[in-house]
Amino acid sequence: MLDQLRRTYFAHLLLYCVDALPRDEEGRPFLDADFNYVKWLSDEIALVEGADSSAEEHEIELDDTQKEDPTFAFYHELFLTQTTLEIDVRSEDTDMDAREAAEGNKEGGDCGGGDRKGAGDSNGEET
């Protein structure tokens, strides 16, 4: 489902970093992005899902007017650029990670880092 979103920063944020996103007053995570772009993207995702269920295709693409709108162009490039999301690690960093893991350090590559205390407060502030 939604192959167009695979390997994008948008998918990575929602799959792996949702706990690090700011929260609204009701505790729901949100992306601090342009409202009109997010509404458009939500509608496009719904169209893709509908097309998939009826064995049709729908591409998530900006129209000419949206391509000229800097807000749409910025967020579209930011969220929907395809990426491998791989990070090159220097060998000395790998050695340090191996030593820390041997000592019982279980910090991982999560997006929030650390113990995540304060991440996602309803007021958006860290404690």
Whether 117 is covered by a domain: the verdict is: no
pTM of the model: 0.59
Whether 9 is covered by a domain: the verdict is: yes
85: containing domain: 3-101
Whether 124 is covered by a domain: the verdict is: no
| 2-16 as b/e: b if 16+ CB within 10 A | eebbeebbbbebeee
Per-position pLDDT tens, the chain of length 127: 478 888 888 888 888 888 988 999 999 988 889 999 999 999 998 998 888 777 788 889 999 999 999 999 999 999 998 887 665 556 665 555 555 555 444 444 556 554 444 444 444 444 4
Whether 35 is covered by a domain: the verdict is: yes
Going from the C-alpha of 110 to that of each of 64, 107, 115, 125, the distances in angstroms are: 37, 8, 10, 19
Which residues on neighbouring strands pair with residue 23, listed in sequence order?
A: 29
Residue among 29, 109, 44 at smallest CA distance from 100: 109
Give the C-alpha separation, 96 to 98, whole Å: 5
Give the chain's domain count: 1
Whether 123 is covered by a domain: the verdict is: no
Whether 125 is covered by a domain: the verdict is: no
Whether 106 is covered by a domain: the verdict is: no
